[in-house]
Structure 1
Amino acid sequence: MERSLKNSGRPTPEITLPAHVAGSGTLDRLVDTARDYARGATSENTNAAYAADWAHFTRWCRRRGAEPLPPSAEVIGFYIANCASPDDRSPALSVSTIERRLSGLAWHYQNRGFTLDRKDRHISTVLAGIKRKHARPPVQKEAVLADDIRAMVATLGFDLRGLRDRAILLLGFAGGLRRSEIVSLDRRKDDTLDGKGWIEILDAGVVLTFRGKTGWREVEIGRGSSQQTCPVHALEHWLHFAKIDIGPVFRRASQDGTRALETRLSDKHVARLIKQTVLAAGIRSDLPEKDRLALFSGHSLRAGLASSAEVDERYVQKHLGHASAEMTRRYQRRRDRFRVNLTKAAGL
């Protein structure tokens, strides 16, 4: 298969038949199938981010009379230096954003039949210098803790939208879910083409099976001690009153709020919901509204569970689907940091 080398911002490769192979109906269909699989190789959010990275780079090259193709380590070194110290009024990018942009460029070059050597000295030494001069500790979002989530769901009504949003918050918190994972769930396996998981409600709780950021995994969410804050009870209520037996679990509601539509909610709804209910519940009211909104995001639910669950760390790690305990600790805003005291263990 050949790849088109057109200078476009498409987030997937142009897959075509080799020039020496005659086309046919069967082969043409296989080309379309291969393109579909190529589009699904990375998540929609990643595709969108990489497309934006490529568009930014090609625009930067065009303004400076450089060519984006074929890849030039020197040009890319100049580019990331300019991202860190812009020569115009645009804001400087963080080290993590610059590294993400390099990943996006490497991905696009690979899909165009090229290889970008990020270890080339024109790139690696410039990036090392940027890290040394500009690297800062990661900015973490505030965790939504158990008392916070109770206050947030208390601000919601009991109409259809309120039932839906209550289920989203409680399920997202108890499952330690990403916002994309919440809205990707279907009622049952293979209900829709765009779904990435499904739910199974049992007597003791609900089992979520979905394709997350790190692959397929199961998340078990047990029933809570109170119906007012039980995520499974909230989910059952939403499904019952929304009359959802098949298709996306979380959907838009009609304008009059009396029925659930077929359209799946966007993950942006989860982020907006968290910010809205944080304000309504008066969480961190010691800060101005602008600062409060900036503190909380979709990841606040995952960080909240990791910080609130008083169980062995390995259970939290498995629940969140983390490959390492170190990653889990990044989500724990509140933990016993000195539970293991090596100073005393060493005899001092």
Structure 2
Amino acid sequence: MSHLPAVPSSPTSLVPAHLVESTGRYVESGLRGAANTIRAYAGDWQRFTAWCQQHQLESLPAPVEALAGFLTELADAGKKVATIQRHVAAIVKAHELAGLDSPSANQKIKVLLKGIAREKKTRIKQAAAFTLANFKHTIRSMDVTTPTGLRNRALLLLGFAGAFRRSELEALNIEDLAFDEEGLVVSLDKSKTNQLGQAEEKAIFYSPDPQLCPIRALQAWLRVLNRTEGCVFVSLRKNQRLTMRRMTSKYINLIAQQYLGRGYTAHSLRASFVTVSKLNGADDSKVMNQTKHKTSAMIRRYTRLDNVRQHNSAKELGL
């Protein structure tokens, strides 16, 4: 099975007949979640169902023994804790969609997961943050004499200045951009933490250095794009010809790695925004206004201060 299970019909005896179809649609939307999440879970669910078929075990509903065996095999194969946890989440979602209890709630599974994490002693790998000096050097050294260079410069500068997720950059449309003399306001219909599509905005400001200005870089790319609507970041053919194809999150990640280095990802743009902002003295509320995080705890999680000399009160002792 390459897809998550279909949502079963729920009792509708108390729902007026003319609302039954809409009710079912809303329930399915609420259960399934974001499109990117569905795609990620579908692959994990397919691996689990294939494993169960191989061992002649039911996958839906899955017995505790089946889930325990599958997770043990993943751990023995050297899979990271984060990967194992993602598979569990996919299995939980499949059971939820089918209206069934997940075996992950069993105490044995909880103990097993705790043991796997303890034995591996691994932390969830986080995207590295770059220094502002290195980022500036990278941007200044880019070849912007071609459409590809103009697009990639705009992508990196906007991604950093707006603390964008790569899925948000992928979904960005020209209609979402509002320029004025103060800068740029970007409207987001949906994001990872805004599944209901409530209005969210990000403010982008002019930089005194034209080479490092995210707004001027984006405007230069839009002049090449020469459109008034549709996706902002599109794929290009080898001869630098524009296409109508929206750039995928995967390709956005490859571009970030190409310019920033193999140790970084597109998510480093967002992590670096938080880290640089905190190093420059910004309080959590200002950072959260751009990142759209809901709690200060998430800001602390995103802040990359691995250098012991950074953000250290020992420099403020007055000795």
TM-score of Structure 1 vs Structure 2, range by shorter chain: 0.7 to 0.9
Cα shift at 1:165: 1.0
Is 1:13 the counterpart of 2:6 in the alignment?
yes
Is 1:167 the counterpart of 2:154 in the alignment?
yes
Conserved in 1, the CA contact under 8 Å of 2:274 and 2:303? yes
Residue of 106, 109, 112 corresponding to 1:126: 112
User: 1:181-211: per-residue Cα shift (whole Å, max 9, x none)?
Assistant: 11211111xxxxxxxxx22122111112212
Is 1:50 the counterpart of 2:41 in the alignment?
yes
Conserved in 2, the CA contact under 8 Å of 1:206 and 1:232? yes
Residue of 264, 281, 299 corresponding to 1:311: 281
Query: 2: distance between equivalents of 1:339 and 1:10?
Result: 54
Conserved in 2, the CA contact under 8 Å of 1:12 and 1:38? no
**Structure 2 counterpart of 1:237, which letter?**
A
Scaled by the length of structure 2, the TM-score of the pair is: 0.83
Alignment correspondent of 2:295: 324
Q: How many residues align?
A: 301
Query: 2: distance between equivalents of 1:267 and 1:273?
Result: 10
Cα shift at 1:139: 2.5
Is 1:251 the counterpart of 2:234 in the alignment?
yes
**Structure 2 counterpart of 1:96, which letter?**
A
Alignment correspondent of 2:245: 263
Alignment correspondent of 2:95: 109
Cα shift at 1:151: 2.4
Query: 2: distance between equivalents of 1:179 and 1:155?
Result: 20
Query: 2: distance between equivalents of 1:40 and 1:207?
Result: 32
Query: 2: distance between equivalents of 1:183 and 1:40?
Result: 24
Alignment correspondent of 1:205: 183
Conserved in 1, the CA contact under 8 Å of 2:32 and 2:38? no
**Percent identity between the two aligned chains:** 26
RMSD value, Cα: 2.9
1:220–1:40 distance in 2 versus 1, CA, 3 Å: farther
After TM superposition, the structure 1 stretch with the greater mean CA deviation from structure 2, 222-231 or 211-220, is 211-220
Conserved in 2, the CA contact under 8 Å of 1:14 and 1:35? no
Conserved in 2, the CA contact under 8 Å of 1:12 and 1:39? no
Alignment correspondent of 1:290: none
Alignment correspondent of 1:214: 193
Query: 2: distance between equivalents of 1:117 and 1:17?
Result: 22
1:318–1:27 distance in 2 versus 1, CA, 3 Å: closer
User: 1:106-145: per-residue Cα shift (whole Å, max 9, x none)?
Assistant: 1011112212153312211212222222232333332133
Equivalent positions of 1:128-147 (< 5 A) are 128-147=114-133
Scaled by the length of structure 1, the TM-score of the pair is: 0.77
Cα shift at 1:27: 9.2
**Structure 2 counterpart of 1:9, which letter?**
S
SS at 1:269 equivalent = helix
SS at 1:300 equivalent = helix
Query: 2: distance between equivalents of 1:236 and 1:49?
Result: 34
**Structure 2 counterpart of 1:61, which letter?**
C
Cα shift at 1:39: 9.1
Cα shift at 1:61: 1.1
1:129–1:37 distance in 2 versus 1, CA, 3 Å: closer
1:40–1:172 distance in 2 versus 1, CA, 3 Å: farther
